[in-house]
């Protein structure tokens, strides 16, 4: 007998409860591993299990189970994909850095650097403080997705982790349950779909639906159970017909009938606004054949048996989905007029459809298909890294990734015949950025199927798209209102941010130079000592950053000028009194770009007395002197800037006229003709009826300056039906 047995008994509270259950769990996992792994590797995994069990000792899940049951369950899920020893070790240790005192270095020393990197990629950023829960969540997703980009096993373990959490979500309070279910539907299920893990994707959707909308889930479950008896005859008849017809065509096949998942039925009901009784195709059939030619032969046999629904045949063999999925889909009108959905594929395609990228570990015999799948996945992961480099905050990065997670359903062609997959609703701008960032940035026009089309045109399956570029073109901010892909959105924002920064630096220099003149100084006279003192006192890295902040309205130029002047005075002792110079006005051309904007409320044009207002985050806005929207800022001298028009303008400016006319035939045509005779272009027209016999016309026209506008207004005034004319003001009046 062991000597320890004669000592006083140890209190039971020091032992984690239910340890026999834990041992049984690992023995089950061990049995799976023995089917495909060497004994020494299983020994290392078992050591990781004991290490994890010791680290989590005394910790319990909300359900009351010992915490170690969760890592074992995660490892069990990924063992079904035949993942390697490092992945299994990481699965068993995936929570130790978060929930215990174990460090990354300790894991690396015991189990190797690869396993430690995987665990680190799976650990949340708990040590950093964030401004909000949403920001913390977004930053954790960014870390996980970037770790996934360098090693795909990170996301496979994380998906297994989320699957087990969803399976055991009943013990969590309802509000948290709904939040986790929503997060799973928004992020994890689409990632599983994007990686081709179809079985996992469907289960995550079903579990999320059950926990997010429990009453809807139960009601739909009852409806489907009730419908099974009614529709069993149809299903049996179709199944028998297929099994009899295919051998007649010399086709050997496996035929499976399946009930569609609750979530896909629910989504169809919501999207098409149908009741359950109107959703007829709740059953589908899968035909698995030997090779690709037989797939097409089987479709021919099925179409000869039942009439196909026009437009419902999809060939994902010739053009696979972005996640590598291949199959032929068709919908037939079966017995009693019931639509029947059928998928035809080979056994290899079936493996890929169920396991996606995990097939790399499961079915290494089908190297050609798997290599193509890995290439697609690799290009998507690289696009994540590109999004990360162009996205600023984590929430913006997550927004772009969410856009790209939803599967592409539009397949378009380049002029060279290459196929690109894009999300539904994509435009030629999305296409341009999908080809190359530089093509997107230089895009000016497009041809769709040989015809010149607007850049906001929605692309359709089979369109051939040609992008026309120009050397000096730049992205247009308006593109953000209609692009669909995360890459296009991120690249446009990245370019605009950089452009705004450069323009803000230039504007900031001009504003600061103007603010220094009352102190008898110019920027060139400010010494290095004064600048160093200013930058050090305010924790700013460079002069360029100060200029950018001034240009964006984050710092007031008069205050910066005063501080620089004081620092300059301190360096030279008490200088001679310098006679202040009047601050020179900043010249405005109207084409400065993003940092200087002409206000939309009052539409200033050359010849108008103008004032500049510094708006935080938006730079310099130029208004007319009498604009009511800036009247309240008159007292804040630091916010407004003296500006004047640059002489010799040679561009057109938008201005809106309000014209009151009597009712009459052809009035609008005569007004438009008068404006055209003055060499003005009409940009926009709106009409309102006023008091029955009068009509108010709002015309936005383009003019060179105030004199040009006056000529146009005189010409309009000569039209007999015109009663009153004037410029539209921000307060709604005419003046």
* Cβ–Cβ under 8 Å, residues 590 and 652: no
Q: Which two structure tokens, joined as six digits, stand for 40?
A: 């020494």
Helices within 249-306 (DSSP H only): 262-272, 292-305
- Residue of 368, 358, 71 whose CA lies nearest to 201: 358
Is 679 assigned a catalytic role?
A: no
Is 458 assigned a catalytic role?
A: no
- Residue of 600, 593, 605, 522 whose CA lies nearest to 564: 522
CA distances 441 to 271, 444, 521, Å, are 35, 9, 41
Which of 98, 134, 367, 537 is catalytic? The answer is: 98
DSSP 189-209: HHHHHHTT-HHHHHHHHHHHH
Which of 46, 57, 84, 99 is catalytic? The answer is: 99
CA distances 48 to 28, 30, 108, 168, 713, Å, are 16, 13, 12, 24, 84
* Cβ–Cβ under 8 Å, residues 166 and 180: yes
Q: Give the E-state strand segments of 108-164 in sequence order.
A: none
**Cα(422)–Cα(125) distance, rounded to whole angstroms?**
33
- Residue of 140, 117, 116 whose CA lies nearest to 128: 140
- Residue of 82, 12, 79, 11 whose CA lies nearest to 49: 79
Residues composing the chain: 735
Q: Which two structure tokens, joined as six digits, stand for 468?
A: 């026309």
**Cα(300)–Cα(679) distance, rounded to whole angstroms?**
65
Q: Which helix (H) or strand (E) holds 467?
A: strand 465-469
Bridge partner list, 726: 658
**Cα(268)–Cα(274) distance, rounded to whole angstroms?**
8
**Cα(339)–Cα(285) distance, rounded to whole angstroms?**
11
Residues with Cβ within 8 Å of 570's Cβ and at least 6 positions away in sequence, in order, are 533
Q: Which two structure tokens, joined as six digits, stand for 9?
A: 């008994």
**Cα(461)–Cα(482) distance, rounded to whole angstroms?**
18
DSSP collapsed to 3 states, 662-714? ECCCCHHHHHHHHHHHCCCEEEEEEEEEECCCEEEEEEEEEECCHHHHHHHHH
DSSP secondary structure code for residue 184 in this structure: I
Helices within 356-414 (DSSP H only): 359-362, 367-390, 394-405
Alpha carbon 234 to chain centroid distance?
Answer: 43
| Cβ-count burial 582-607 (b if 16+ within 10 Å, e if not) | ebeebebebebebbbebbebbbbbbb
From the CB of residue 247, how many other CB atoms can be counted at a distance below 10 Å?
11
* Cβ–Cβ under 8 Å, residues 97 and 49: no
* Cβ–Cβ under 8 Å, residues 620 and 551: yes
**Cα(276)–Cα(260) distance, rounded to whole angstroms?**
13
* Cβ–Cβ under 8 Å, residues 243 and 256: no
Q: Which helix (H) or strand (E) holds 284?
A: strand 283-289
Q: Which residue has the tokens 């169920």?
A: 354
What amino acid positions are annotated as catalytic residues?
Answer: 98-99
């Amino acid at each position: 007998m062991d000597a320890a047995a004669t000592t006083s008994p140890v209190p039971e509270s020091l032992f984690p409860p239910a340890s026999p259950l834990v041992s049984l769990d690992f023995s089950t996992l061990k049995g799976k591993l023995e089917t495909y792994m060497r004994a020494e590797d299983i020994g290392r995994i078992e050591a990781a299990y004991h290490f994890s069990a010791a680290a989590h000792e005394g910790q319990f899940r909300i359900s009351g189970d010992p915490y170690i049951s969760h890592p074992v369950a995660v490892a069990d899920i990924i063992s079904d994909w035949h993942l390697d020893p490092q992945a299994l070790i990481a699965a068993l240790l995936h929570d130790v850095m978060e929930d215990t005192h174990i460090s990354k270095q300790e894991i690396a020393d015991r189990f190797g650097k690869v396993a430690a990197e995987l665990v680190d990629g799976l650990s949340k950023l708990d040590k950093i403080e964030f401004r909000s829960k949403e920001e913390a969540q977004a930053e954790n997703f960014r870390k996980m997705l970037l770790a996934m980009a360098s090693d795909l096993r990170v996301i496979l373990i994380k998906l297994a982790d989320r699957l087990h959490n969803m399976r055991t979500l009943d013990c969590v309070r309802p509000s948290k349950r709904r939040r986790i279910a929503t997060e799973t539907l928004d992020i994890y299920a689409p990632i599983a779909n994007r990686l081709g893990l179809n079985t996992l994707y469907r289960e995550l959707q079903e579990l999320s639906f059950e926990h997010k909308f429990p009453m809807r889930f139960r009601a739909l479950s009852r409806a489907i159970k009730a419908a099974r008896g009614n529709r069993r005859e149809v299903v049996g008849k179709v199944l028998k017909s297929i099994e009899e017809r295919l051998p007649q065509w010399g086709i050997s096949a496996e035929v499976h009938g399946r009930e569609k998942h609750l979530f896909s039925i629910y989504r169809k009901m919501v999207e098409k606004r149908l009741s359950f009784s109107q959703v007829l195709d709740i059953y589908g059939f899968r035909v698995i054949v030997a090779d690709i030619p037989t797939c097409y032969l089987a479709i021919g046999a099925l179409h000869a048996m039942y009439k196909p629904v026009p437009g419902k045949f999809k060939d994902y063999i010739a053009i696979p989905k972005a996640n590598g999925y291949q199959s032929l889909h068709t919908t037939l009108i079966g017995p009693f007029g019931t639509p029947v959905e059928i998928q035809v594929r080979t056994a290899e395609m079936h493996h890929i459809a169920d396991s996606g990228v995990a097939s790399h570990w499961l079915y290494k015999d089908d190297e050609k298909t798997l290599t193509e799948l890995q290439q697609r996945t690799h290009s998507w992961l690289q696009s994540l890294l590109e999004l990360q480099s162009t996205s600023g905050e984590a929430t913006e990065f997550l927004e772009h990734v969410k856009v790209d997670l939803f599967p592409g359903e539009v397949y378009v062609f380049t002029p060279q015949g290459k196929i690109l997959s894009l999300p539904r609703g994509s435009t030629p701008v999305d296409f341009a950025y999908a080809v190359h960032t530089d093509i997107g940035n230089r895009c000016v026009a497009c041809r769709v199927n040989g015809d010149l089309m607007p850049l906001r045109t929605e692309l359709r399956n089979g369109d051939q798209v040609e992008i026309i570029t120009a050397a000096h073109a730049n992205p247009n901010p308006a593109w953000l209102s209609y692009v669909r892909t995360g890459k296009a959105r991120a690249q446009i924002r990245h370019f605009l941010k950089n452009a705004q920064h450069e323009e803000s630096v230039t504007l900031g220099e001009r504003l600061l130079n103007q603010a220094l003149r009352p102190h008898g100084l110019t920027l060139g006279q400010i010494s290095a000592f004064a600048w160093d003192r200013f930058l050090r006192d305010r924790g700013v890295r460079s002069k360029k950053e100060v200029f950018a902040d001034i240009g964006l309205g984050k710092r007031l130029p008069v205050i910066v000028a005063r501080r620089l002047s004081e620092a300059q005075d301190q360096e030279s002792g008490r200088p001679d009194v310098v006679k202040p110079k009047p601050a020179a006005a900043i010249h405005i051309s109207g084409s400065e770009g993003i940092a200087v904007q002409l206000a939309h409320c009052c539409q200033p044009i050359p010849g108008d007395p103008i004032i500049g207002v510094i708006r935080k985050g938006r730079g310099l806005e130029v208004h007319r002197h009498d604009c009511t929207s800036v009247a309240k800022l008159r007292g804040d001298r630091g916010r407004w800037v003296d500006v004047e028009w640059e002489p010799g303008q040679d561009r057109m400016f938008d201005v809106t006229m309000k014209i009151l006319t009597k009712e009459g035939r052809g009035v609008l045509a005569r007004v438009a003709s008068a404006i055209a005779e003055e060499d003005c272009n009409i940009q926009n027209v709106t009409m309102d009826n006023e008091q029955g016999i009068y009509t108010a016309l709002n015309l936005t026209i383009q003019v060179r300056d105030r004199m040009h506008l006056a000529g146009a207004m005189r010409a309009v005034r000569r039209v007999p039906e015109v009663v009153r004319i004037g410029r539209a003001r921000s307060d709604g009046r005419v003046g």
